[in-house]
Structure 1
Amino acid sequence: MPVFSPYADRLSRIPIERHEVEVRGGTTAYWVYGPSADSDTDQSAQDAADPKTEPLTVIAVHGFRGEHHGLEPVLAYLPDVRVIAPDLPGFGETPPLPGRTHDLDEYAGWLQDFTAAVAPGAVILGHSFGSIVSSAAVATGLQTPRLILINPIGAPALEGPKGLMTRLAVLYYELGAKLPAKLGTALLRSRLIVRVASITMAKTKDPVLRRFIHDQHDTYFSDFADRDVLRDAFVASVSHDVRAFAPRIAVPTLLVAAQQDDITPIEAERHLATLFPSAELVEIADVGHLIHYETPAEAAGHIRRFLRVPVAQGR
């Protein structure tokens, strides 16, 4: 039986187009939400109100084991913003990059090349692992007027309040990589383990919303190409965090953090904000690492306001 989405009605009113582009020897699938590139109706109205407002095109980078659908609840509250949402290589409908190790350097390079191909100068948004990929790409040369990080990974996962769970996850992915291929892949796609992870991350008490979150994870959390790319991406996700890149990111940055995040404690997010030359931290209460599912309207509200703040002269 189909699971009710609290955001389906809003999303149904937003135009969505699927596209593909060749990047780094592979084909990247991506979706464009909202106004098309040749539609200037909404942007003209905004520019008339504030001529300093930047063109509202955002590239949204999803998190580990997810794909572009995960950020749709946030996009549902940004109908006047043109958002380009790719599936990361090896996840969703984007196959792995041929002959490459999917480590952080590769993902950062892919994002730089993808942005150059489809929307040079776009605002970059990253969630969770996507926050690491986006920060690494911007710190190493990706040109963007602004950076938005939702549930940023602001400290090593092994040091967070759920450090033990992360260590168990390391063992899980190591076992999945070492077992015979069929058995290892089955373990990595285990619905039971996916459900345990979903229950652990969800903070809402709303049964309808919880059912939706679990269905989203059941549907998309195992949509990876193979266990090799999954292992590579997992290693990248737990071996890096945004702190290493923050001092080299000069553009205005918005951090949307959760006060109950089990992966990065809010104290670490507050420290992370101090490492950027120009960053704003907003905190959302009563939510954990699933801001994009549980409080998308609030996150989108902060994003809309941030996108309308004029960039300081000289940037």
Structure 2
Amino acid sequence: MPVPSPYADRLSRLPVERHEVEVSGGKTAYWVYGPATDSVEPVTVIAVHGFRGEHHGLEPVLAFLPELRVIAPDLPGFGETEPLPSGVHDLQAYAQWLREFAAAVAPGAVILGHSFGSIVTSAAVAGGLQTPQLILINPIGAPALDGPKGVLTKLAVFYYALGAKLPARIGTALLRNRLIVRGTSIAMAKTADAALRRFIHDQHDTYFSRFADRDVLRDAFVASVSNDVRAFAPEIDVPTLLVAAQHDDITPIEDERRLALMFPEAELVEIADVGHLIHYETPAEAAGAIRRFLRVPVSRDR
């Protein structure tokens, strides 16, 4: 039985529509949250989720941003979006997909990325994606293999490699193993709130294994641990917001502070008492930082 979302009431008041678009030779599923265009044009944001996730993961943050029109796709090969026909799911392919997706559905939108999505969005913007502003939540600002839990990351490298090499049925079962998914969720969650922890674990149980096949998952994992935002920061010439966690086990806050200095124009907002799950544990704080950055007035419906 699904665990109730602490943000369910807010989300229930947020209009949402599902759409599909042909991008990079395949169908991309995406969801549009928030107000339709009316006499006052809302700010439009394209939000890109992280590794093994899908669009649902960012909903808690969107629940606190009813003023915005947010377009949230599932990355190719995850959720309801088809794998890329090329069969290649490296960073270059994902960045090209995002450039084409933005051009098709919302040219000139603000771009937002969480975790692996921060790498994809940064690569896309540095490679020519036109946007007035860039927002990175839990940005990957240093090599994952060198982080505080680098040993665990190295074990993850072995895990994904093994899943790709075993016979297909066994390998896929290993990659979708519920005990391993739950262990990953427990390791990332920092909150002491028991109800919130149950919700986080249920989210990972529900959505963390909705990948198309093990080849997509392996390629995306390699892309996520082989790249970070530092390579693209100096080439990003638009105002950028970094929303970072002071207890992130993937990118320590000291590395996030150094990352912010690599952008021509960047603002760093640090959130205390949270790790790599800002979008689940402190969505109101993240939304507040985004609203201030975009200079969006507070909705009367809040």
TM range (shorter): over 0.9
Matched, 1:290 2:273: no
Distance across 2 between alignment mates of 1:182 and 1:4:
32
Secondary structure of 1:2's counterpart equals coil
Instruction: Give the structure 2 partner of residue 69 of structure 1.
Output: 56
- Correspondence for 1:46: none
In structure 1, the partner of 2:38 is: 39
Question: How far apart, in 2, do the equivalents of 1:226 and 1:118 lie?
Answer: 27
Aligned to 1:145: 132
Amino acid at match of 2:178: R
What is the rounded CA distance, in whole Å, between the counterparts of 1:246 and 1:56 in structure 2? 24
* One-letter identity of the residue aligned with 2:38: S
Partner SS state of residue 172, structure 2: helix
Deviations 1:125-183 (A, max 9, x none): 00000000000000000000000000000000000000000000000000000000000
Tell me whether 93-102 or 247-256 shows the greater mean CA deviation: 93-102
1:108 corresponds in structure 2 to 95
- CA drift at 1:2: 2.8
Aligned-pair CA distance for 1:40: 3.4
Instruction: Map Cα deviations across residues 258-313 of structure 1 (whole Å, 9 max, x no partner).
Output: 0000000000000000000000000000000000000000000000010018xxxx
Give the alignment partner of residue 154 of structure 2, picking from 167, 179, 183: 167
Q: In the alignment, what sits opposite 2:214? A: 227
Residue 95 of structure 1 deviates from its aligned partner by 1.0
Q: Is the aligned partner of 1:5 residue 2:40?
A: no
- Distance in 2, Cα, partners of 1:217 & 1:27: 24
Q: What whole-Å deviation, never above 9, does each CA across 1:170-218 have from its counterpart, x for those lacking one?
A: 0000000000000000000000000000000000000000000000000
Q: Is 1:180 the counterpart of 2:167 in the alignment?
A: yes
Question: How far off is 1:80 after superposition?
Answer: 1.0
Quote the residue 2:227 is aligned against: 240
Distance in 1, matches of 2:54 and 2:162, equals: 24
In structure 1, what is the Cα distance between the partners aligned to 2:240 and 2:231?
Answer: 15
Residues 18-39 of structure 1 deviation map (CA, whole Å, 9 limit, x = unaligned): 0000001000000000012x33
SS of residue paired to 1:4: coil
Following superposition, the deviation at residue 100 of structure 1 comes to 3.2
Q: Determine whether 1:91 maps to 2:78.
A: yes
Q: TM-score, normalised by structure 2?
A: 0.97
2: CA distance, partners of 1:304 / 1:107: 27
Task: Give the deviation of 1:4 after TM superposition.
Answer: 1.4
**Which one-letter code corresponds to 2:285 in the other structure?**
E
Distance (Å, rounded) in 2 between the aligned partners of 1:291 and 1:101: 30
Structure 2: give runs of 5+ residues left out of the alignment. Answer: 297-302
Alignment pair present for 1:279 and 2:266: yes
CA distance in 2, matches of 1:80, 1:276: 28
Q: Which amino acid aligns with 2:202?
A: D
1:2 partner amino acid: P
Moved over 4 A (4+): none
Q: Considering only aligned residues, what root-mean-square deviation do their CA atoms show, in Å?
A: 0.8
Letter in 2 for 1:109: Q
Contact 2:2 2:202 in 1 (8 A): no
SS in 2 for 1:210: helix
Distance 1:25 1:250 in 2: 30
Match of 1:307 in 2: 294
Identity within the alignment, %: 82
Name the counterpart of 1:22: 22
Q: Aligned residue pairs: how many?
A: 296
AA at the equivalent of 2:210: D
Letter in 2 for 1:254: L
Aligned mate of 1:196, from 183, 190, 193: 183
Q: Which amino acid aligns with 1:212?
A: F
- Counterpart CA distance in 1 for 2:170 and 2:8 is 36
Which amino acid counterpart does residue 20 of structure 1 have in structure 2? Answer: E
TM-score of the two chains, using structure 1 as the length reference: 0.93
